[in-house]
Amino acid sequence: MKKKIVSIVSIAALSLTISTSAFASPGTVERSVNFRSAPSTSSSVYQLIKAGQPVDIVSKVNSYWYKISYNGKTGYVSTDYVRASGGTPSGSTGGSSGAPTNASAKADRIIAHAQALKGVVRYDYGVNKPTSVMDCSAFTKYVFGLEGVSLRWGTRYQKDAGSAVSKSNLQKGDLVFFWTRTSGTINHVGIYIGNGQFIHNSPSFDGVGVSSLTSGYWSNHYISARRVL
């Protein structure tokens, strides 16, 4: 009887493996991504999957998450970091028309996270202690990280993240960079929120606030912008 039970369990496990493989489609990690236990940025991270690694996409959970199989384990990754290369995964609507909408929705959520930190975060240069005390780049790193977008702490790194975008083509969620000490040298960052405004963690507010890009101090100290969504 024990042998029969073991045999049934083994067959069931094998069947599950075959089933997962049969319906999975190949994909490639385009940017290093957290491999998570559930489709949520608050879930635990199994490991970081580096760019260039092949994965098996089991299904597309929604616009933001793929369910994948990697190194014998099943988990979830952001759709923004993985390219499906073997057809449309099960559950996907297909096509690429949803990409801009996805980025726009993510930008809205990031801005909402940033707005929620008004009156919560204090500013202190060179500090990264979410969510009590942070500097400008720790703030952007934190709120983007809530949506699965990985940024390094420090304007010297964030100024090269993603791709360059001109001031005239700014979109919600773009990182905007400024100088405050030496003209032309980036040392401050914020998040563009539309209508010529950006949100940032600044000593002028001793925390999070919204400033103008079209007039005043920050307009005269603007340097560049990067798109990371």
Segment 70-107, tens digit of pLDDT:
998 999 998 888 888 755 444 444 444 444 557 888 99
Write out pLDDT tens, residues 33-79.
889 898 877 788 899 999 889 999 998 888 778 899 999 899 999 88
Q: Say yes or no: 151 and 196 in one domain.
A: yes
In terms of domains, do 206 and 154 share one? yes
Q: Is 136 a catalytic residue?
A: yes
- Tell me the CATH number at 210: 3.90.1720.10
The last residue of a domain, from among 84, 110, 140:
84
Question: Is residue 178 over pLDDT 80?
Answer: yes
**pLDDT reported for residue 25:** 86
Judged against a pLDDT cut of 50, whether residue 18 lies above it is answered with no
pLDDT at residue 19 is higher than 60 = no
**How far from 122 is each of 12, 153, 165, 193, CA to CA, in Å?**
55, 17, 29, 21
Q: What is the pLDDT of residue 91?
A: 47
> What is the span of the domain harbouring residue 63?
2-84
Q: What is the DSSP letter of 45?
A: E
**6-20, 73-87, 106-120, 135-149: lowest mean pLDDT where?**
6-20
Among the options 136, 149, 165, 213, which is catalytic? 136
To which residue do tokens 């930008």 refer? 107
C-alpha–C-alpha distance, residues 75 and 87, integer Å: 20
Q: What confidence score (pLDDT) does residue 86 get?
A: 55
- d(C-alpha 124, C-alpha 136), whole Å: 9
Pair (106, 64) in one structural domain: no
pLDDT at position 212 is 96
Query: Could you say which of 67, 159, 200, 226 is catalytic?
Result: 200
Return d(Cα 138, Cα 141) in angstroms, integer.
5
220 and 126 in a common domain: yes
Do residue 222 and residue 141 come from a single domain? yes
Taking the C-alpha atoms of 115, 35, 155 and 211 in order, what is their torsion angle to the nearest 10 degrees? -10
Q: Is the pLDDT of residue 185 over 50?
A: yes
Residue 24's pLDDT is what? 67
Same domain, 68 and 104: no
Domain count for the chain, please give it.
2
pLDDT-derived band at 161, boundaries 50, 70, 90: very high
Q: How would residue 32 be classed by pLDDT, with cut points 50, 70 and 90? A: confident
| pLDDT exceeds 80 at position 194 | yes
Q: Which of 67, 106, 172, 188 is catalytic?
A: 188
Do 79 and 105 reside in the same domain of the chain? Answer: no
Question: Is 113 designated active site?
Answer: no
Give Cα 60 distance to the centre of its chain: 17
Checking if the pLDDT of 4 tops 50, the result is no
89 in any annotated domain: no
State both tokens at 34. 């957290």
Average pLDDT, the chain: 84
